[in-house]
Structure 1
């Protein structure tokens, strides 16, 4: 994914920094591959070190993004280091799982090694977006000596309830499957022959022979348990003494983390929350506006790693984008709204209560039945927006029509929301297992409905995410659905819509039963965190900028099919709804060293209206890497092709997970050889999901 034209380009003086490849030794003899961008005078003037630690291949897949960021820090007096996690890219060893004990133990060793180098001052900062933001928090929580500051972007402190696997205790069908399929494809890529030499094929074969798909592991932990507690910084906020700059985007699913860190961290902490998707805020990708994030982070590093007074401690606790009413769309180059500075944010604001009696039929306050169509949720948008054309939720009127709704009038001053709304419902279920989903929408005078936020609750988790308590059919209970946080102003004359459903496919994997809920509107309420802005500080940023990235080419692909990025099809005869998605991760490109890297993927989600057990989620990937004129340690041309398929279904009380991996290579003699052809099948009992 390449940056758009929205960011200013920085052309660095080539003499301002130098680049060195490193091998970082681990205690068990494994070496991790790293690249370091260093100040030009590093051999005579040691510098603080910045670390980004990822499984995404520094030699190719992240090299464009890396080239926009790491050289900038080097030119401003830092050694900026990008390390590939064990068993990924060209690092040695075997990859196991997300945030494994091996990954985090290695991370500690990397920090200690960097701090001990003669070119290091011994002070280390860590940063990253998504995975790199996760493990920055995780290693800070471990209290690694020398790690003095972190910048964590679009990350989570709660691996169970705020990640890609579960939401409100419900299986996230859309990303439990898609991300597991993506990681199967990513982990199947070979090391670079230019780095590891002629042994690349042997190393690759061993990786493929020993790797295991991840979805069965994740589905085996349907409650919050020790598996999820490992790497969840929320389990030990007091353990984090490093200075934390927490950064999120309203279009990113992890932005609740920003508020939790502000409210719970004991040490220095500040937060930035913009309109952004799952991207750095300076890459020129939608939605904007972007900011000079490099400049903001440089202020952070200079304060906490060089002891310079940069004014960051006088910044508001929270600098936040407050969105404003605008027509619903799946893409915005820039969102409507404004920046606000909240001087202090130590606890969640008080909420204002709104009754939901209107959920009943007009003029009838009695209870109402809730039994949404199984395909409710097709207009949910992408769980991980990356700035693509169809990422964001479209007009919600169709979804509203499949839900129970109540509209609340908005007065002449508008309605300003900042924080996490809650909806408290009195309900009863007709089966032991059920979900409830609540959406808040901004309804304009023309009737269009724009999603503000939403929340999910698997009712078996109503007493806690670490346990499973089935509902007693027919018994009334009061439950609380916590919605994802929002910063939004509903315009005067609009209406605030509360929409409730019991289905939300493919975000929420449906329970096997199909019986529905009954709601008591008279005993149900909405609780909104309203923002008055009385002590608000003015906030402004310089425009987005980044270093001129390396130049990559786009090969001609005459045979590549042109498919819609996101397409919903309904088979009227069978009642099947199919959602087909191109995740748009990278496409095809040619790197400066001659590597041609082609990738294509498709995700397909199916469900039939008559059967919740007809739900299926499938992910297919094809990747081809080749270099006909390699340099470095590669003596001969090479080519590798990987095809993966991942499929999750449910039957007879189990999740059924099937995976296939096929890999071929061009060996040293130019012959096509099979490297792997494996299939996997696992059945996982549905303990609560």
Structure 2
């Protein structure tokens, strides 16, 4: 164990960002000490290395953070909270940064979380509230607390979900290889010596691209990095929807047993859909919940700032905050809501055979558009909700939209702004020469210069029973959004049959994900107009309510 007062240089920029953020309370305990490397015993005897940040005269409340990453990575947050009179406990998950045992993602978090809470509750200085905090895998460790006898008094969970597999791995019944590949790469380099780590990070884009193209997909991580983590092979092996292997790793299955929680989500974050499902379940169970959704990708700096402010709000006993606060992308500012989703009116637009988005009810000519899907040259994702930093977020779609395997439908310039809040839906009829097919629908906004960017998208993997060439009616629910389309801009819908590696290419066979030894191309035919109209349904919301524009939401 060692004591130190200095903030690691890697944390100083984030600390300055926290200090300069508006609406933050001033420090009350400027002299803070860090006790590093406390050995907290797990139930099986492994030692979980833990840091304790506090001032000598700190108050009774504690913030608990468990992480598989470098504890120095949250040093800025720990010091900032400790300077406001709170104890902060930061622990490395087993098998990471000196903690004993082997890191097996998800598997040991319930037991290790309970051991840590027992240790914490026994400390003479931990006499007040215990508030767990953090996002992504930090959030996973918090959901795991809810399956044990001891729980925090409150939780602050950013960009995470109770069911890890359903939230980010197997959305739409495919396998979202981009995110686990990027995470495996990051885990594989994080504890290497600085020169080796820097070398690997400089080559990350090339490595991730190489891994995503690798056949079979089970070899993606070795191809990208050289490592062969067991957890990635497990996820590939257990990729069928509903595989019981995942059942013990679904945390907080009883929503009514979850303590009060603040959820921070992002419109461009990989956990978005799963996290909003969690919010709905918590609301249904009567759990006191606050939801904040911003227009950010995974790991954005704004998440930390807002998350720290929310943790301080709990200790300050503030209760007047809105139940839901969302940032309206497209420059619409922040808005307080009583619930998510807010009331809306369905607005329908029909996809026409000549590539337009038009008002329904008009006798549009019927027709069909055919395109070839080739898994050997899979349709690229061009952005989206992924952990991959080189492709995440609202990307320019022009290169993707030039491909023959992407069908485009574009509306007229908008006479006025259009506010969409909720989950758009796409209803279409198509046939494939291969009954095993994917459908990917992306809603974009095209600005006055003709630049098309992602707003939201949805994906679905389909399987028999249908015969080759038999038409099938399909409904695709796009990810939730709060977006303001600007006057003069146009809406655009992309319909394609894949988005690799955001969603692993469909090989056109029943071969498992670990295989893909055969890649079979197919022709997809989209039917339009007549008795088989393709219809986009947008949830339109009131654009007259006042928006608020603080840097940090109150």
Match of 1:90 among 98, 106, 111: 98
CA distance in 1 between partners of 2:43 and 2:252 (Å): 29
- The correspondence of residues 285-296 of structure 1 with structure 2, limited to 5 A, is 293-296=307-310
Asked if residue 279 in structure 1 is aligned to residue 299 in structure 2, the reply is yes
- Hey, what does 1:478 align to over in structure 2? 473
Shift of 1:454: 1.1
Asked if residue 171 in structure 1 is aligned to residue 175 in structure 2, the reply is yes
Maintained 8 Å contact 1:361/1:368: no
CA distance in 2 between partners of 1:53 and 1:499 (Å): 41
Relative to 1, partners in 2 of residues 1:5 and 1:520: Cα closer, same or farther, differing over 3 Å? farther
Relative to 1, partners in 2 of residues 1:171 and 1:144: Cα closer, same or farther, differing over 3 Å? same
Relative to 1, partners in 2 of residues 1:250 and 1:5: Cα closer, same or farther, differing over 3 Å? farther
Maintained 8 Å contact 2:332/2:547: no
- The correspondence of residues 186-197 of structure 1 with structure 2, limited to 5 A, is 186=190
> What SS is found at the alignment partner of 1:81?
strand
Maintained 8 Å contact 2:134/2:307: no
Match of 1:216 among 210, 233, 240: 233
CA distance in 2 between partners of 1:543 and 1:496 (Å): 29
CA distance in 2 between partners of 1:353 and 1:493 (Å): 18
Match of 2:287 among 228, 242, 267: 267
- Hey, what does 1:555 align to over in structure 2? none
CA distance in 2 between partners of 1:348 and 1:13 (Å): 40
Relative to 1, partners in 2 of residues 1:426 and 1:239: Cα closer, same or farther, differing over 3 Å? farther
Number of equivalent positions: 476
Name the Cα RMSD after superposition. 3.2
Shift of 1:377: 1.6
Asked if residue 159 in structure 1 is aligned to residue 154 in structure 2, the reply is no
Shift of 1:104: 1.8
Maintained 8 Å contact 1:441/1:498: yes
From the two aligned structures, give the one with the greater helix fraction: 2
- Hey, what does 2:538 align to over in structure 1? 528
Relative to 1, partners in 2 of residues 1:520 and 1:133: Cα closer, same or farther, differing over 3 Å? same
CA distance in 1 between partners of 2:41 and 2:250 (Å): 27
Asked if residue 506 in structure 1 is aligned to residue 497 in structure 2, the reply is no
- Hey, what does 1:301 align to over in structure 2? 315
Asked if residue 109 in structure 1 is aligned to residue 112 in structure 2, the reply is no
Relative to 1, partners in 2 of residues 1:291 and 1:78: Cα closer, same or farther, differing over 3 Å? closer
Asked if residue 183 in structure 1 is aligned to residue 187 in structure 2, the reply is yes
Shift of 1:51: 1.0
> C-alpha offsets along residues 97-152 of structure 1, whole Å, 9 cap, x if unaligned?
2111x222111121122122211116321111110012212323x25434110011
- Hey, what does 1:365 align to over in structure 2? 366
Maintained 8 Å contact 1:438/1:454: yes
> What SS is found at the alignment partner of 1:528?
strand
> What SS is found at the alignment partner of 1:394?
coil
Per the normalisation by structure 2, the TM-score is: 0.77
Relative to 1, partners in 2 of residues 1:351 and 1:158: Cα closer, same or farther, differing over 3 Å? farther
> C-alpha offsets along residues 283-335 of structure 1, whole Å, 9 cap, x if unaligned?
8xxxxxx95543332002333xxxxxx13xx22221111111xxxxxxxxxxx
CA distance in 2 between partners of 1:4 and 1:26 (Å): 31
- The correspondence of residues 629-668 of structure 1 with structure 2, limited to 5 A, is none
Maintained 8 Å contact 2:417/2:486: yes
Maintained 8 Å contact 2:445/2:489: yes
Relative to 1, partners in 2 of residues 1:278 and 1:107: Cα closer, same or farther, differing over 3 Å? same
Match of 2:55 among 27, 39, 45: 39
Shift of 1:186: 4.5
From the two aligned structures, give the one with the greater strand fraction: 1
> What SS is found at the alignment partner of 1:371?
strand
Per the normalisation by structure 1, the TM-score is: 0.63
- Hey, what does 1:401 align to over in structure 2? 402
Maintained 8 Å contact 1:153/1:280: no
Asked if residue 24 in structure 1 is aligned to residue 40 in structure 2, the reply is yes
> C-alpha offsets along residues 612-643 of structure 1, whole Å, 9 cap, x if unaligned?
xxxxxxxxxxxxxxxxxxxxxxxxxxxxxxxx
Shift of 1:470: 5.2
Maintained 8 Å contact 1:32/1:91: yes
Maintained 8 Å contact 2:182/2:388: no
Relative to 1, partners in 2 of residues 1:123 and 1:225: Cα closer, same or farther, differing over 3 Å? farther
Asked if residue 136 in structure 1 is aligned to residue 142 in structure 2, the reply is yes
> What SS is found at the alignment partner of 2:65?
strand
Asked if residue 356 in structure 1 is aligned to residue 370 in structure 2, the reply is no
Match of 1:380 among 378, 383, 397: 383
